[in-house]
Amino acid sequence: MKLIVGLGNPGREYDGTRHNAGFDWVDQLAHKLQVSLRPESRFHGLCAQIRQKDADVWLLEPQTFMNRSGQSVAALCQFYKIQPQDMIVVHDELDLPPGVAKLKKGGGLGGHNGLKDIAAKMGTQDFWRLRIGIGHPGDRNAVVGYVLHPPRKEEAPLIDEAIARSLEVWPLIVQGACEAAMLKLHTKA
């Protein structure tokens, strides 16, 4: 992997919301790796470059708002010649309950506007996604309000647990052993 993208919305008013699960994951990874994300205007986001096993890996949090995440991702990928199969996008997932994290490559976009914009700007849906379950409000008309609010008191620790558990497979992800990471993550008790 050459690029790890965490999706979310910038600004204090979105801190701690369900939609910012991707930002939360990348923030925790950066903390674990003892690196700081810094604003990078040419990539429209917060970035950090790390060295893992003699390879450069970028961490990116687009600051373009969710619906325009592809602008940030495409700018960094074009500049560093990163192919879609060499990146993983970490995002909130309505179709998984809180406490569940799943890894997959390609597939549908599930109505996720951040993924839609990345796929449109990259010209493919064939990239890895780490999906952090946030649950569904039960009514598709309530989705926007749901994702832009913090999780309920009983959901927050489950989401935090899914993030922590999925961070455990980081060594496999960074080596490009995503199938092994997927197997390990999906078979955890």
Active site members: 19
> What distance in Å separates the CA atoms of residue 165 and residue 32, rounded to the nearest whole number?
13
1 touches 174 (CB < 8 A): yes
56 touches 2 (CB < 8 A): yes
Q: Which residues of 115-146 are buried (b: 16+ CB within 10 A; e: fewer)?
A: bbbbbebbeebebbbbbbbbbbbeeeeeeeeb
H or E element in which residue 51 lies: strand 45-52
56 touches 64 (CB < 8 A): no
Going by C-alpha positions, the residue among 148, 117, 115 that lies closest to residue 134 is 148
Residue 180's DSSP bridge partners are none
142 touches 128 (CB < 8 A): no
Going by C-alpha positions, the residue among 54, 49, 47 that lies closest to residue 75 is 47
